[in-house]
Each structure stands twice: as structure tokens, then as C-alpha cells.
Chains A and B, each alone.
Chain A
């Protein structure tokens, strides 16, 4: 990516400048080593706001800027954005390999019923809706670095516009792999919209977090721990 390229959206840039300025002023006032760190952070935020380029976003392969053309199915400022991470005691290779087989995803994504892999790029996703209903869409891989990241989006004309990416980064000190997921949905109005809202739940971030927890448990232990089906005094013979 060109270092000058903008990857931060306009409102976010203004917030960066204002918050960064305040942070820098506060840090300098502290006249201490922590103060210098705070001031430096503030400076970085101001720089990010002024140039519209965020080093952190770049490293994540993320952009919130609007001029993204056909690369994004959910325009900035619309829909729901969720970002969650988990550390898994396995190598990036193993995790990338597991995720890249999209038909594995329903094993840990609670609301996903089936993913049918069409070819190397395309797949058909079926998610559970309320009262036995289903939401379906077709997705294509738009970005892929083996053992590092996979990015996908729904193709034009889908019932629900969505895009997602997953990043696999080795954790320091041999502590496994940090798996970070960014998902964006743009639920349409009407029945399908209601189905999608139900699917996402009241707290989409928590749903994604629980999905990642299931992935971790499945990969690390080979099964999902549960107490469903155990006996208790509530089911007295």
C-alpha cells in the first residue's frame, strides 16, 4: 500500500485530530516519561487525522475511507461493523488451512447452517433465520495471503450485503496465533432485514466473540465443551 494513500474516513480523521491534540497537550503537561508516551500517541493520532493514513489500519489490511470502488460491498457508514480477536494455541498455517475450507465455518459459527464451496473463489452461504427461515448469499474471496489473511464479500445482488476478513498473526513468545475477524453487514429493510437482525442478535460483537471461542475450543481440544444432555435434579425420573 502507498504510504500516502488515505485509509481513514473523514469524520474519523477529525476525531483523530481533536482527540490527538488533547492527548498530546495532556501528555506534555505531565512532564514525565509516561507523559512523553501519551504525547507521542496523541501526535500519532493528529498525524493520522491530518494525512488520512493510519499505520495501524494499514497493518490490518483495513480501510474506513470511502473511495474504495468495487472492492467493498458495504459502503462506509452503513450497516454493522464487528471486530473481535482470540488467541489460539496453534500455528497460523493450521488455522488458515482450517478457515480456508469454508465448509468448516458452520462447525463453529453458530448461525451459519452451511457453506457450499463452488470453486477456488466462490462459495454459497446459508444462515439460519427465525422460525426455520433461511438467508442465503454468494460470496467471493477478494483478498488472500496464504497463512496471513483471507478477505471475502458477498457478490452483487445478494440478499444481504456483507464483507469480512480474518487475519492470522503469530503471537509473541510462541503463545499461538492471534486470529482477528472483521465483519461488516448491511441488513436490508423488510423481512430479510428482520431475519438478519435476528441472526446477528442484539449484540453482534458478542456473537462473533462466541464464534471465535468455539473455533479456539474446536482447534485446541477437538470438541466443544458442553453440559447439554447431562442429568440434574431438574429432570427427576
Chain B
């Protein structure tokens, strides 16, 4: 089969590899019909995530048709159309029973690596480094899904692939970020980053009752998409002297009640700290650039919430923790517990409350993946979201 493989920093290739097979009783094999490149795949592409190996199959946003199930699988049969959440959950540990599926105790075969870095190991993730289990990903024609009874959401025929695909990651990720804000009547929500997660966070903030939503980015097409709903206000930080002053003015001097950092560890920025971060990251003094996080902490109103769906993987310098403490901020973060959102968000799609296809900018075939990684990374060609068919 054809699979998109990581071959080194800024080098991904489409390689002909053996088809996956059932290894454990609870496995299923899925023929992938549609898959996507995620912003977090760019962290792998850029070489920011340790424990990648040449030949690893990428991809954690994928869906398709079940073609084979192991003897332990009870809830799936050949022919079922499913999406697969990006974190792999066992469904039976204490964390899974609490709905905290991205913190599953059991699915990471390399738990000791993850534990060495974080103290306690979290769930395995498809195509996302050996630290997260080393599972082959779904940017391929076929993929093996462990604990398949837990790791799927069936998709009814009335819902198209493109409408369902983003239930794997970015829609629940944006939604969980907005939900974590505990939005109250009258709240203003500011969202840093209008990539796919930011755009879904914006739409979700509206669904959850925000009074106002302000989007911050510097890419015209992304701000355009954010504003396309006719009610989201946008700030182009490339043209502004001071995002803080602007947000303060827009909110009567109070600051936004809820701030969402949908940027994460590869933040761009125009201030001095962003430039210092970039140099440090280049010489490996720190893994993460955190410009958006610093700004969100600074801008948030007293007693507000800073919610962080953007991915961070290591150490960050000069986070104004005193600011967060002094203002009594609530910080919420973490990998998304996708499993608990797929059913309710699918229902929102079916009711027409949101059409997730609005973020798709590029529709290509798997063969074009290497070029698309470069395009997406450079944010050229107004690239926001790439989906790939696998035939």
C-alpha cells in the first residue's frame, strides 16, 4: 500500500509499504477513504518532536471503511464506515472510564519513554512519534486500529466524508478548548490563531453562547474565514502596534474574559520575545516558542480563563507565571479527549449547526502529500486545511 512516511526533518515521502495486519484480538483494519494533514503534523515535519524514526507512517486524522476485525472486536463489522479519534484509548482504565481518553494508561507501548519526560505516561497517538507509542498513522491506504471497539465513531450514510473527517481531531479540539472556557452570558472570547483548531474554537465559542468572539492572526485568508460567519471580529497582529491595547480598548478596559491559544509551540510573532524564542529554538535551548501564550496571559481579564489547545511538547522560557497568578487566571490545557465529543458533535453536524467543510482549502491525492506538507508549512497558496483521498 501507499503510505506517507517521515524520512527526516522537512522530508516526508510516499512509500510503498506492506499492508497492515491484525496483530492483537481487539484490532481492526480500516481502508482509508479520506485523511488530512494536521497543524501538529507540521511539528513533526519541522523536527520539533523527539523520538521520530525514518520510515514512520504519519497521520492521525483519517476515516474509512472497516475491512477486517480481530476476534475480540464486538461493535464493528466489515463494511462499517467510521472515523477514528487521534488518541488511542483502551476504554477500560480509570482515565478512560472518567472520559479522559487522551490520558489512557494502557495504549502506549512505549509508556516508559513518555513517563521519563512527563512523570506519567499518556495515551498512544496514531503517527505521532515513538514517545506516543510509535503507532503507524492513517496517511495511508490502510491502517490498523487497536482497541477498535473503543476507537471509532460510526458515520451514517447521510454524512459525507468531508463533513465527518474532522471529528477525529480538530473539531473536538476546538470545541473542548471553548468548552474549557466555561463561557458565561456576556463573555468576550479572544482566540489566538485562525488555523483549523482556532476556527473550530471560534465556531464552538459561538455555539456555547459567547457574546463576542475576537480572532487574532496575521494571514488574510485565515482572518477572512474567521470573519465569514458575519459576527467574529478580527485583529491582524501584523498591522497592529499592540494587541493588548487593542483588545483592552475593544472590551471597555476589562480585557477578554476567555482567551484561547490555538497556536502552540511554533508561534510566530513580531515582538522581541518571539525573535529571541526563534533563535533559542533553532539552537535547541528550548523546544517551544510561546509568544501567543504569553500574550494571552497578559491580555486576559482578571479572574479569566486561558485555554490552550495549541500543542506544547517541552520547556518554554519566560512564561509570565506571576501575571497568571496575580490575576487569578484559570489555565486549561491538554490533548483532546476526542471520544467524548464525537457523538454530540456528529449530531450538531447532522442538525446543520455547523458544516466542518468550511476550512478545507486543498483537496488532493495521497501522492501529493510531500508537496502539500511544504505548502501548508509555508502557508502558501492560502493553505488552511489539506484533505487527501487515497485511491
Identify the A interface with B (CB < 8 A): 87, 89, 175-176, 206, 209-210, 213, 216-217, 220-237
| Chain A residues in 8 Å Cβ range of B334 | none
State the Cβ distance, B118 to closest chain A Cβ, in Å.
Answer: 15
B193 lies within 8 A of chain A by Cβ: no
> Given A222-B25, A225-B106, A226-B23, A232 and B57 touching (CB < 8 A)?
yes
| Chain A residues in 8 Å Cβ range of B93 | 89, 216, 220-221
B133 lies within 8 A of chain A by Cβ: yes
| Chain B residues in 8 Å Cβ range of A223 | 24-26, 72
> Are the CB atoms of B109 and A233 closer together than 8 Å?
no
Other than A231-B20, A233-B5, give 8 A-B pairs with Cβ distance below 8 A: A220-B90, A220-B93, A220-B105, A225-B106, A230-B135, A231-B19, A232-B17, A233-B6
**Interface 9-mer from B48-56, B237-245, B272-280:** B48-56
> Are the CB atoms of A233 and B13 closer together than 8 Å?
yes
> Are the CB atoms of B106 and A234 closer together than 8 Å?
no
> Are the CB atoms of B133 and A233 closer together than 8 Å?
no
B134 lies within 8 A of chain A by Cβ: yes
> Are the CB atoms of B21 and A229 closer together than 8 Å?
yes
Kindly state the separation between the CA atoms of A206 and B105 in the bound complex, as whole angstroms. Answer: 17
> Are the CB atoms of B94 and A233 closer together than 8 Å?
no
State the Cβ distance, A209 to closest chain B Cβ, in Å.
Answer: 8
4 nearest A-B residue pairs (beta carbon)? A233-B55, A233-B5, A234-B55, A231-B18
> Are the CB atoms of B57 and A231 closer together than 8 Å?
yes
State the Cβ distance, B106 to closest chain A Cβ, in Å.
Answer: 5
Kindly state the separation between the CA atoms of A229 and B5 in the bound complex, as whole angstroms. Answer: 17
State the Cβ distance, B17 to closest chain A Cβ, in Å.
Answer: 5
A206 and chain B: residue at smallest CB distance: B112
Kindly state the separation between the CA atoms of A209 and B111 in the bound complex, as whole angstroms. Answer: 11
B357 lies within 8 A of chain A by Cβ: no
Checking B5, B24, B91 against A226 with a beta-carbon cut-off of 8 angstroms, the contacting residue is B24
A222 and chain B: residue at smallest CB distance: B72
> Are the CB atoms of B23 and A229 closer together than 8 Å?
yes
Contact indicator per residue, chain B 44-69, by CB within 8 Å of chain A (1) or not (0): 00000000011111000000000000
> Are the CB atoms of B107 and A225 closer together than 8 Å?
yes
B146 lies within 8 A of chain A by Cβ: yes
Q: Which of B1-32 contact A (CB under 8 A)?
A: 3, 5-7, 13, 15-21, 23-26
Checking B13, B17, B94, B97 against A237 with a beta-carbon cut-off of 8 angstroms, the contacting residue is B17
B232 lies within 8 A of chain A by Cβ: no
| Chain B residues in 8 Å Cβ range of A236 | 15-17, 55
> Are the CB atoms of B15 and A233 closer together than 8 Å?
yes
B147 lies within 8 A of chain A by Cβ: yes
> Are the CB atoms of B92 and A220 closer together than 8 Å?
yes
Checking A176, A213, A233 against B56 with a beta-carbon cut-off of 8 angstroms, the contacting residue is A233
Kindly state the separation between the CA atoms of A230 and B55 in the bound complex, as whole angstroms. Answer: 12
Counting chain B CB atoms within 10 Å of each CB, the highest count among A89, A217, A229, A233 belongs to: A233
A213 and chain B: residue at smallest CB distance: B111
